[in-house]
Structure 1
């Protein structure tokens, strides 16, 4: 999801905590705060599937 020059679908399999638009997307999609999302990413990595499992969503 980092390459803004491409017009492809964003890579929703990874969570990039360094991109504000991704943090906004994922906090809304998962129904969690930025802090909760950051804790989950710190604990299990940036795989969206693994973070979902960690958060129980």
Structure 2
């Protein structure tokens, strides 16, 4: 089934696909990492949305609050 571009969230919410701009936008809006941080997390833990979210939260906690 082709992606329905009227939906703003990923079709398969359990996976993140960097090839789809709207999925990258959704993730960066939801979790607030930079695109580079999102790419790094995907390389580290794979495409699982839950694993990426956990990785990003841990890395953001380790780096301290935003200024």
TM-score by shorter chain over 0.5: yes
Runs of 4+ with >4 A deviation: none
Which structure 2 residue ranges, 5 or more long, are not aligned? 5-9, 59-67
Residues 6-43 of structure 1: CA distance to partner in whole angstroms, max 9, x if unpaired?
A: xxx82111100011111011111111110000000011
Residue 38 of structure 1 pairs with residue 60 of structure 2: no
SS in structure 1 at match of 2:36: helix
- TM-score, length of structure 2 as denominator length: 0.69
Aligned partners of 1:34 and 1:48: how far apart in 2? 15
- The match for 2:12 is 11
Structure having greater relative contact order (Cα 8 Å, sep ≥ 6):
1
- TM-score, length of structure 1 as denominator length: 0.80
| Cα root mean square deviation, aligned | 2.3
